[in-house]
Structure 1
Amino acid sequence: MTTPIVTPVRPHPKEIKQVTLGSGDITVQDLVAVARYGAKVSFSQAYCDRVNQSRGLIEKFLEENRLIYGVTTGFGSNVTKVVSPEDAETLQRNIIYSHAVSVGEPLEHEIVRATQFMILLVLGQGFSGVRLEVLKAIASLLNHHIVPFAPGDGSVGYLSPEAHMALVLMGEGSAWYQGQLLSGRDALAKAGLQPINLSCKEGLALITGTTSVTAIAALALYNATQAVKTADIAGAMSLEALKGTIKAFDSRLNALKKHSEQVQTAETLLRILSGSEIADTYKDYRLQDALSLRCIPQVHGAVKKALKDAEKNIVNEMNSVSDNPIVYPLDDDGIALMGGNFDGTYVGMSADAMCVAMANLAKMSERRIDRLVNYHVSELPDFLVVNPGLNNGYMIPQYTAAGLFAEIQALSHPATINNIPTCAIQEDVVSFAYNAARKAYQISTKLEHILAIELMTAAQALDFHHPLKPSPATGEVYRIIRKQVPMLTEDRLLYPDMCNIHQLIHEGEVVKVVEEVIGHIIL
Structure 2
Amino acid sequence: MAAGEFSRFLISHWRELHEKLRSHDEEIVVDGKSLSLAAVVACARYGQDVVISEETIEAVRRHTEKVFGQLRDGEVMSGRHSSWGSGAPIRTLAIEQLQRSIVRDGHFSILSGETDFDISHATRTFSSAIPLSDPIEATSMPESWVRATLLIRANTLAYPNSGVRPVLLEKLAQLLNFDVIPRIPLRGSNSGVGDFSPLTYVGGVLQGKPAVQAWIGDRIQGGRKLIPGDEALGYAEMEPIDLRAKDGLALVAGTSPSSGVACLAIHEAICLAAMSTVLTAMSAEALCASNSSFHPLHGELRPHPGQRECATLILSFVRGSKLVSDEAQANEFMQRADRYSVRTSAQWMGPVIEDLQLAHTQLSTEINSSVDNPIIDEAGKMLHGGNFQAKSVASAMEKARQGCQSLGQMLFAQCTELINPATNKGLPAHLVVDEPSQSGLFKGTDILISALQAELGFLSNPVSSHVQFAEGGYQAINSLALISARYTLTAVDVLTQLAAAHLIALCQALDLRALHIQFLYTLAPKFKVLTRRCLGECCEQLSPGGEGGGSGSEVAYDLWVQLSEQMSRTMDMDSRQRFEAAMDHLQTRLLREVPSTQQSLELVQQWNSDCVNEASQVYGTVRTRYLAAPDATPILGKATKRMYKYVRETLEVPFVGSDYLASAEWDDGTSHSSKYKYRSMGAMISAVYEAMRNGALYSVVVDCFEHV
Task: Please give the TM-score of this superposition, normalised by the length of structure 2.
Answer: 0.70
Give the aligned partner of residue 134 of structure 1: 168
| Residue 203 (structure 1) shift | 1.5
- The 2-side partners of 1:106 and 1:340 are apart by 28
- Corresponding residue SS for 2:465: coil
Listed as ranges, the matches of 1:400-419 within 5 Å are: 400-419=448-467
Which residue of 103, 107, 112 maps to 1:96? 103
| Residue 54 (structure 1) shift | 2.2
Give the aligned partner of residue 435 of structure 1: 483
- Sequence identity (%): 27
Is 2:627 aligned against 1:471? no
Is 2:291 aligned against 1:123? no
Is 2:278 aligned against 1:226? no
| Residue 454 (structure 1) shift | 0.9
Which residue of 365, 375, 383 maps to 2:411? 365
1:432-473 per-residue CA deviation (whole Å, 9 max, x = no partner) reads 122222222221222111111111110111111225521232
Give the aligned partner of residue 215 of structure 2: 176
Aligned length: 513
Give the aligned partner of residue 304 of structure 2: 259
1:342-370 per-residue CA deviation (whole Å, 9 max, x = no partner) reads 11112212211221111100110111111
Is 2:252 aligned against 1:207? yes
- The 1-side partners of 2:77 and 2:451 are apart by 51
Asked if structure 2 preserves the Cα contact closer than 8 Å seen for 1:14 and 1:37, the reply is: no
Give the aligned partner of residue 380 of structure 1: 427
1:69-116 per-residue CA deviation (whole Å, 9 max, x = no partner) reads 0011012111001111xx222211121121122235211211111111
- Corresponding residue SS for 2:448: helix
Asked if structure 1 preserves the Cα contact closer than 8 Å seen for 2:292 and 2:326, the reply is: no
- The 2-side partners of 1:297 and 1:403 are apart by 25
- Corresponding residue SS for 1:20: strand
Greater mean alpha carbon deviation, residues 275-284 or residues 233-242: 275-284
- The 2-side partners of 1:125 and 1:57 are apart by 14
Listed as ranges, the matches of 1:260-275 within 5 Å are: 260-275=305-320
- The 2-side partners of 1:461 and 1:442 are apart by 29
Which residue of 232, 237, 240 maps to 1:195? 240
- The 2-side partners of 1:299 and 1:361 are apart by 8
Which residue of 134, 150, 153 maps to 2:187? 153
- The 2-side partners of 1:401 and 1:258 are apart by 33
Give the aligned partner of residue 489 of structure 1: 657
- The 1-side partners of 2:684 and 2:239 are apart by 45
Give the aligned partner of residue 46 of structure 1: 55
- The 2-side partners of 1:375 and 1:106 are apart by 46
Asked if structure 1 preserves the Cα contact closer than 8 Å seen for 2:274 and 2:702, the reply is: no
- The 1-side partners of 2:639 and 2:106 are apart by 52
| Residue 177 (structure 1) shift | 1.1
Change in CA separation of 1:507 and 1:257 when aligned onto 2, cut-off 3 Å:
farther
- Corresponding residue SS for 2:403: helix
- The 2-side partners of 1:510 and 1:266 are apart by 22
Is 2:145 aligned against 1:111? yes
| Residue 262 (structure 1) shift | 0.8
- The 1-side partners of 2:208 and 2:399 are apart by 39
Asked if structure 2 preserves the Cα contact closer than 8 Å seen for 1:230 and 1:510, the reply is: no
| Residue 45 (structure 1) shift | 1.7
Give the aligned partner of residue 505 of structure 1: 692
Larger Rg: 2
- The 2-side partners of 1:397 and 1:50 are apart by 57
Which residue of 74, 78, 87 maps to 2:83? 74
- The 1-side partners of 2:350 and 2:706 are apart by 18
Change in CA separation of 1:151 and 1:506 when aligned onto 2, cut-off 3 Å:
same
1:171-222 per-residue CA deviation (whole Å, 9 max, x = no partner) reads 2211111211111222222222222222222111111122112112111111
1:140-198 per-residue CA deviation (whole Å, 9 max, x = no partner) reads 11111122111111211111111122221112211111211111222222222222222
Which residue of 346, 353, 356 maps to 1:304? 353
| Residue 23 (structure 1) shift | 7.8
Asked if structure 2 preserves the Cα contact closer than 8 Å seen for 1:474 and 1:514, the reply is: no
Is 2:393 aligned against 1:347? yes
Is 2:343 aligned against 1:294? yes
- Corresponding residue SS for 1:68: coil
| Residue 409 (structure 1) shift | 1.6
| Residue 66 (structure 1) shift | 1.4
- Corresponding residue SS for 1:377: coil
- Corresponding residue SS for 2:186: strand
Greater mean alpha carbon deviation, residues 296-305 or residues 494-503: 494-503
- Corresponding residue SS for 1:127: helix
Give the aligned partner of residue 519 of structure 1: 706
- The 1-side partners of 2:388 and 2:293 are apart by 46
Asked if structure 1 preserves the Cα contact closer than 8 Å seen for 2:643 and 2:701, the reply is: yes
- Corresponding residue SS for 2:159: coil
- The 2-side partners of 1:115 and 1:497 are apart by 34
Amino acid in the other structure paired with 2:656: L
- Corresponding residue SS for 1:176: strand
- Corresponding residue SS for 1:73: coil
Asked if structure 1 preserves the Cα contact closer than 8 Å seen for 2:290 and 2:326, the reply is: no
- The 1-side partners of 2:695 and 2:472 are apart by 47
Task: Please give the TM-score of this superposition, normalised by the length of structure 1.
Answer: 0.93
- The 2-side partners of 1:247 and 1:507 are apart by 36
Give unmatched runs, 5+ long, in structure 1.
none
Asked if structure 2 preserves the Cα contact closer than 8 Å seen for 1:52 and 1:131, the reply is: yes
Amino acid in the other structure paired with 1:443: A
- Corresponding residue SS for 1:376: coil
Give unmatched runs, 5+ long, in structure 2.
111-137, 218-223, 519-633, 662-678
Give the aligned partner of residue 278 of structure 1: 323
Greater mean alpha carbon deviation, residues 259-268 or residues 508-517: 508-517
- The 1-side partners of 2:358 and 2:707 are apart by 20
Asked if structure 1 preserves the Cα contact closer than 8 Å seen for 2:291 and 2:326, the reply is: no
Asked if structure 2 preserves the Cα contact closer than 8 Å seen for 1:149 and 1:164, the reply is: yes
- The 2-side partners of 1:101 and 1:128 are apart by 25
- More contact order relative to length (CA 8 Å, sep ≥ 6): 1
- The 2-side partners of 1:366 and 1:235 are apart by 11
Change in CA separation of 1:520 and 1:348 when aligned onto 2, cut-off 3 Å:
farther
